[in-house]
């Protein structure tokens, strides 16, 4: 793993807002970085560099290897940071197989739950870590990204309930990744079990993202409205009950304890942030709602629980996706 930290090439699989921030910070710190992304963004980066602004400082970073597809890359990678949308998880896993080094590591830094399982199935339990990212970024234009909010350090670690005995060995690798990202200016901590972090973030996203996307509101406005606050409370209750049934060691005694942190710390620190789901609806007509509220519904059904609020939010977002797609096709 030390070789990866010093000299090994790093691939950012999904150069959207978060992936571009990761790539820019790592490249600025001297790492060899390749990025997979959309052509308009990559062309802008190739012409004028990747411009990073906001809470992590201002810089223009150059010297990336850029590609739209993994098949365009002619080398193997020791580390892949996965920042694609959850609906692209299976496809990117298949793409990466030929270019991941024999002892290479993939780190899923995606929203929702279920992604780690897909990568473990493809690459094996010893080569996968999960990452919880809870800073926010916006793509201002092709080639330009801004860090807008920072709530807590990135958390990186294995998922013991998926990876079993390999988890203890993976903690050392998680520490190396965390040290590398921290040295690059992205505060990161290693953990022995990433699942509590992913579920805690799911509570946050499941409450805020659908409503923010459907209504076009920032997080603070959602929390200030009593009716929307009631909906978010119910969404959190349902997600918390599901997490408990999965035996995840959620670091809160109950949903009320989580909501205290949610309303008193997390929402204030991201008050003016608008959800990525809103941008995804407007620009792509597709979101990761199935890995968030939809996953709560899926697991609730498996455990014999009810999740009517998360089901309704999922259906509303899916309907908006279809309407947005129809609008795009007609224009």
Q: Kindly list the catalytic residues.
A: 201
Structural contact between residues 84 and 133, judged by C-beta atoms closer than 8 angstroms: no
Structural contact between residues 200 and 191, judged by C-beta atoms closer than 8 angstroms: no
Residue 136 in tokens: 């926010």
User: Between vectors from CA 59 to CA 83 and to CA 15, what angle results, nearest 5°?
Assistant: 15
- Which spans in the chain are helix H? 2-6, 17-28, 39-48, 89-96, 115-123, 160-163, 166-183, 195-215, 219-224, 226-245, 255-261, 267-269, 276-283, 293-303, 308-330
Cα-based distances in Å from 128 to 52, 97, 191, 220: 28, 13, 14, 35
Cα-based distances in Å from 21 to 51, 112, 148, 270, 318: 9, 20, 11, 18, 28
Nearest Cα neighbor of 113 from 14, 237, 13, 204 is 204
């Amino acid at each position: 793993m030390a070789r990866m930290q010093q000299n090994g090439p790093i691939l950012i699989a999904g150069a959207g807002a978060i992936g571009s921030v990761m790539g820019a910070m790592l490249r600025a710190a001297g790492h060899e970085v390749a990025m997979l992304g959309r052509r308009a963004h990559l062309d802008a980066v190739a012409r004028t560099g990747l411009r990073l602004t906001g809470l992590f400082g201002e810089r223009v970073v150059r010297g990336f290897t850029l590609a739209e597809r993994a098949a365009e890359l002619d080398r193997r990678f020791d580390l892949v940071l996965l920042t694609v949308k959850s609906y692209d998880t299976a496809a990117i896993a298949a793409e990466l197989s030929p270019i991941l080094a024999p002892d290479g590591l993939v780190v899923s830094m995606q929203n929702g739950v279920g992604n780690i399982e897909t990568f473990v199935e493809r690459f094996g339990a010893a080569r996968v870590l999960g990452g919880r990212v809870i800073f926010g970024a916006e793509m201002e234009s092709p080639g330009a990204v801004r860090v807008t909010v920072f709530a807590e350090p990135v958390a990186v670690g294995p998922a013991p309930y998926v990876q079993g005995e390999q988890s203890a060995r993976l903690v050392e690798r998680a520490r190396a990744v965390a040290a590398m990202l921290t040295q690059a200016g992205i505060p990161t901590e290693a953990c022995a079990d990433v699942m509590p972090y992913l579920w805690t973030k799911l509570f946050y996203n499941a409450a805020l993202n659908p409503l923010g996307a459907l209504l076009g509101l920032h997080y603070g406005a959602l929390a200030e409205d009593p009716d929307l606050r009631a909906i978010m409370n119910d969404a959190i209750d349902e997600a918390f009950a599901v997490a408990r049934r999965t035996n995840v060691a959620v670091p809160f005694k109950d949903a009320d304890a989580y909501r205290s942190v949610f309303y008193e710390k997390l929402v204030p620190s991201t008050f003016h942030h608008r959800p990525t789901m809103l941008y995804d609806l407007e620009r792509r007509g597709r979101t990761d709602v199935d890995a968030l509220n939809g996953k709560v519904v899926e697991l609730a059904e498996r455990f014999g629980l009810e999740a009517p609020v998360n089901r309704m939010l999922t259906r509303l977002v899916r309907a908006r996706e279809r309407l947005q797609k129809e609008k795009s096709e007609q224009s």
